[in-house]
A = this chain, B = another copy of it.
């Protein structure tokens, strides 16, 4: 049998590509060496959100207590929470497997690699063994969606004892009383927030001069101000030379020789594409920058596409899914247009939250397009007031009179993400602001307020 499509990797990009392709009537095999759902479901976004959700009462109580409106205590049972996470993930994987079955997608469990044009070899782990344990899938098209894994600089490798990567951190059985996070990106900051809610003393270290360095500098500043209020130690422009476990404690050494210790050190300095052993050479795909380069159709070689983290375009689950849907349509002959994601939003969950979509102030400025910025403070919003969480703002970036980007920090601002993505995608002008009625009261009105606020030219 020849498959229309073989997909390597069942994370958001690969799974959605397989499901969408089957929906288009293609005969599809999905190869996965680990769990359905990939990093996002099993070792990333989802467990972290379950942690944040389970502890949100702690944050809400804290805010109201600061206003002397509420008192009391919320205790979250971490082992019970981990049990619930495990159950949720297993349930989700089961639902995904059922969906594949219903659509006639064949799930091949094992490690897949390209074996020349039109063939994928799988070292199977699902019991369907050939004499040499390898099964060959003939196919017209291949989608590589093998994702990413944590990367480490020399000396920063996790040891699985007191020095952990994010995978290990999510698998912990107890929450540490003290935590050092190396790397102040979204992954580290979400995990640090959870530890904070469990009462941990938190230290965040980054080599850059601000936390969340991919964001607008004012966003970083707002986050830092919150972390300061929480009495976190935020150490910036610091270089770490080594981390190790000494006497059941994590010990971190700066390049200055300074040492810090904590129960757990989480190293979250970034993630890199997974391309090892994929047999890319067999089809002439090179990975000079470790990632699989793709063209405007997300094609890496004739009949071979790469979606998600592995192509290095953007490391976000929803970007991978969107690419997966596109490639499925492309392979099925439903489209031949180049890939166009539109603006891809990113979100930091927790409290405060951060959202960003489209182009930021410094980017549009560089492009010299008559840029303006308008801004609204969350303090003026009644929903932020209701949750006693009034720090933060919404910022709109305009280019040539059109909304080019939106970013926000503060209570529940993730809810601005989808409307802001639509507004940026559609390039709203001032005339569009009253084209829809925003509900009142709502945090969404802070977006409207920012859109309506006085625009300041970017110099």
- Check if B386 sits within 8 Å of A49, measured CB to CB: yes
A54–B62 alpha-carbon span in the complex (Å): 11
Q: Does A50 contact B (CB under 8 A)?
A: yes
Closest residue of chain B to A319 (Cβ to Cβ) is: B437
Residues of B close to A438: CB separation below 8 A: 318, 418, 421
Q: How many chain A residues have a CB neighbour from B under 8 Å?
A: 73
Q: Does A360 contact B (CB under 8 A)?
A: no
A45–B424 alpha-carbon span in the complex (Å): 30
Which of these binds chain B: A76-84, A116-124, A150-158, A174-182? Answer: A76-84
Q: Does A388 contact B (CB under 8 A)?
A: yes
Q: Does A69 contact B (CB under 8 A)?
A: yes
Stoichiometry (number of copies): 2
Q: Does A57 contact B (CB under 8 A)?
A: yes
Q: Does A12 contact B (CB under 8 A)?
A: yes
- Check if A69 sits within 8 Å of B77, measured CB to CB: yes
- Check if A442 sits within 8 Å of B419, measured CB to CB: no
Looking at A73, A74, A342, which has the most chain B CB atoms within 10 Å of its CB? A74
- Check if A318 sits within 8 Å of B64, measured CB to CB: no
A92–B325 alpha-carbon span in the complex (Å): 47
CB distance from A381 to the nearest CB of B (A): 10
- Please report which residues of chain A, range 21-79, place their CB below 8 angstroms from some CB of chain B when the two chains form the complex: 40, 45-46, 49-50, 52-54, 56-57, 60-61, 64, 67-77
- Check if B436 sits within 8 Å of A418, measured CB to CB: yes
Interface string of A428-459 (1 = CB under 8 A from B): 00000011111111101001000000000000
CB distance from A21 to the nearest CB of B (A): 14
CB distance from A404 to the nearest CB of B (A): 15
Residues of B close to A73: CB separation below 8 A: 72-73
Q: Does A322 contact B (CB under 8 A)?
A: yes
Known: A72-B75, A77-B70, A84-B69. A440 touches B321 (CB 8 A): yes
CB distance from A98 to the nearest CB of B (A): 12
Cβ 8 A contact of A387, one of B56, B343, B442: B56
Q: Does A382 contact B (CB under 8 A)?
A: yes
Residues of B close to A93: CB separation below 8 A: none
Closest residue of chain B to A347 (Cβ to Cβ) is: B439
- Check if A50 sits within 8 Å of B80, measured CB to CB: no
- Check if A70 sits within 8 Å of B74, measured CB to CB: yes
Q: Does A135 contact B (CB under 8 A)?
A: no
Residues of B close to A318: CB separation below 8 A: 437-440
- Check if B437 sits within 8 Å of A341, measured CB to CB: yes
Q: Does A414 contact B (CB under 8 A)?
A: yes
- Check if A417 sits within 8 Å of B440, measured CB to CB: no
Residues of B close to A80: CB separation below 8 A: 67-69
- Check if A345 sits within 8 Å of B88, measured CB to CB: no
A81–B71 alpha-carbon span in the complex (Å): 12
- Check if A74 sits within 8 Å of B72, measured CB to CB: yes
Closest residue of chain B to A51 (Cβ to Cβ) is: B386
Looking at A50, A322, A382, which has the most chain B CB atoms within 10 Å of its CB? A382
Closest residue of chain B to A419 (Cβ to Cβ) is: B418
A-B pairs, top 3 by smallest CB distance, nearest first, are A53-B386, A57-B60, A318-B440
A-B residue pairs in contact (CB < 8 Å), sample of 12: A12-B440, A50-B386, A56-B387, A57-B60, A61-B74, A68-B80, A69-B76, A70-B75, A345-B439, A355-B439, A415-B415, A418-B419
